[in-house]
Amino acid sequence: MKALPTFTLGFIAAVLLTATGARAGVSPHLILNKSADLPITAFNLTFRVGSADDPSELSGLANLTAHLMREGGVLATKVGSTPMPARTRAELEEYMFPLAADIDVSSETEQVSFRVTASSTDAMTVFNVLAQMVTAPAFNAGEFDRLKAEETDALTKALPREDEEELGKAALFQRMYGAGHPYSHVTTGSVSGLRRLTVDKIKAFYKTTFTRRRLTVAIAGVVSPQLAARARTVFSGLAEGTTAVAHIPATNADGGRELHLTIVKGPFDATGVHLGAPLPINRASRDFPDLYLAAWAFGKHRSFVGRLMKSVREVRGLNYGTYSYVENFPGGGSRLSEPTQAARTAQAFTVWARPTPPENGCFLLRQVFRETSNLASEGLTSSEFELTQSHLVGNAPLQASGLERRLGYAIDSQFYGIKGDYLGSLQNRARRARLAHVNELLHRYLHPRNMEIVVVTRDPEEFKKQILSPRCDIHYASGVEKPGEVLAEDKVIAAYPMGLKPENIQIVTSESVFE
């Protein structure tokens, strides 16, 4: 590959330090990325808390706590030397609107984040409200009832009846990790878990998990000395906490399982396919950059770079897109870029094939499974490797465009224990990558015959019959003609032996995934 210019992601000032001036004991981590390029200031308060901390009988507790902190009003308190009055959710919205600052909350498996960007002239005012929100939440009972009802509707209506793709992902993670694992339920929780939640349980969970030990305070842009000083001290009212992370049990990432298919019955007009298996690595692992490159070459999210997009969509027109991942990627249907603050201690290799008409569902599964098997056994071609290597070297620094994403990556690096510029390191590792080593890692880590497969479809019995049959042909629309080499490969795909045993196929309802 021809030499490409070096790009180092830098800031005018980037400081990771521990807050001082708070009361004795553990203090939050503090990240300051100072830049005077624009008159704005971005804030990100991230707690290392998430659905992985949910007690088994109270799944959804972390998510509902986070959203009630955001929408349940605030108690009267002092933030530094500034008195802050009690306000309801409506009063907070009215107060923040003239400041053009909207506080967003995201709740994922192991991170909860409160984020807002403001004009630098209003930075201290906005930060005071943000700090009040996380240190003095009111947990209003009426807002609790409203949020609980909304989340219950999501689990009983939206997810099982309207969102085929997120339903399939949820079922895949249940199968990959097994009942009781912290990753086996969606962040929203379960219907039975939400039913048991009360305001008192929310308050108790907040006190024990939203602690200084688990908090990272990150500020970027224009950061005055007064703002930096306040950020070091105002979170002393939070409990210190006794644990810094959730306990994530080890997963079976070394094979030893048989291929298993779960067919989810849902009221959908198309058939979606998901497959995957846990990986024994994450972003901090030595082998991660090469596997990340390989996942992009195989099926980069929302891009035509990947092999899967070319063979499934461009050549055959089976669906809108097919993608592969080696990191958690929630909400893929609404995102163009990889999210920040979705970090996980343990990761997985997954493939997401967006829905196709039911008559082509069986063919789509065989094609995706065959491509994944070929990737594991044969690896990338030299042209795939070189194209993706050039693309990743050029694209890596662009992933942190904007103050908010820079903060997000900095916080995630703190999560993984990565020192320095992660994206710069990823870029350098991509530049030094070698095809033979990438392919050796694919052979080592990917075991398609041990993977979990999830299919979401309207008629699971018919799909089971098709996938157990000797072949399932593709059905092109009337008038569509394909070259002879494509039709010849179609015949190979249609009869590709997956080795699925009837006893390793189960059928479940869409509602049961979220019970």
Distance of CA 258 to the CA centre of its chain: 27
Q: What pLDDT, on a 0 to 100 scale, did the predictor assign at position 18?
A: 42
CA dihedral 463, 466, 471, 473 (to 10 degrees): -60
Is the confidence at residue 438, as pLDDT, over 70?
Answer: yes
Average pLDDT, the chain: 94
- pLDDT for the residue numbered 305: 87
Query: Given this model, what pLDDT does residue 25 score?
Result: 77
Look at 21 and 404; give whichever has higher pLDDT.
404
Residue 251 is predicted with a pLDDT of 83
What mean pLDDT do residues 380-386 have?
98
The radius of gyration of the chain's CA atoms, rounded to the nearest angstrom, is 24
Helix locations, 337-477, DSSP H: 361-378, 382-395, 403-416, 422-432, 435-445, 460-467
Record the pTM.
0.94
* Averaged pLDDT for residues 316-333: 97
Residues forming CATH 3.30.830.10 domain(s) in the chain: 13-233, 260-510
Tell the CATH superfamily of the 13-233 domain. Answer: Metalloenzyme, LuxS/M16 peptidase-like (3.30.830.10)
CA dihedral over 254, 260, 264, 270, signed as positive or negative: positive
Residue among 340, 317, 353, 322 nearest 474 (CA): 317
Residue 8 confidence class, pLDDT cut points 50, 70, 90 = very low
Token code pair at residue 70: 């955001």
Q: Percent of the chain beyond pLDDT 90? A: 93
Q: Is the pLDDT of residue 473 over 80?
A: yes
Label residue 241 by pLDDT band (50, 70, 90).
very high
Counting DSSP H helices and E strands in the chain, the numbers are: 17, 14
The per-residue pLDDT for 92 is 98
Average pLDDT over residues 91-101: 98
Q: Is 387 helix (H, G, I), strand (E, B) or coil?
A: helix
> Residues 134-179: pLDDT tens digits?
999 999 999 999 999 999 999 999 999 999 999 999 999 999 999 9
For the sheet containing 260-265, what is the strand order? 322-325, 347-356, 271-279, 452-457, 260-265, 505-509
Per the CB < 8 A criterion, the answer to whether 170 and 514 are in contact is: yes
Mean local confidence (pLDDT), 239-262: 87
Question: Architecture of 260-510 per CATH?
Answer: 2-Layer Sandwich (3.30)
Q: Is 345 left (phi over 0), alpha (psi -120 to 50) or beta?
A: alpha
Q: Is 381 helix (H, G, I), strand (E, B) or coil?
A: coil
Classify residue 122 by its DSSP letter: G
Which sign does the torsion angle of CA 234, 237, 238, 240 carry? Answer: positive
- How confident is the model at residue 20, as a pLDDT? 40
Decide if pLDDT at 59 tops 60. Answer: yes
Task: Check pLDDT > 60 for residue 341.
Answer: yes
Residues 488 and 282 sit within 8 Å (Cβ to Cβ):
no
pLDDT for 1: 39
Q: What is the pLDDT of residue 255?
A: 54
Residue 15: pLDDT over 50: no
Query: Coil, strand or helix: which one is 448?
Result: helix
Predicted pLDDT of residue 256: 62
Q: What is the pLDDT of residue 24?
A: 53
SS (H, E, C) 233-278: HCCCCCCCCCCCCCCCCCCCCCCCCCCEEEEEECCCCCEEEEEEEE
3-state secondary structure of 46: strand
Is the pLDDT assigned to residue 45 strictly greater than 60?
yes
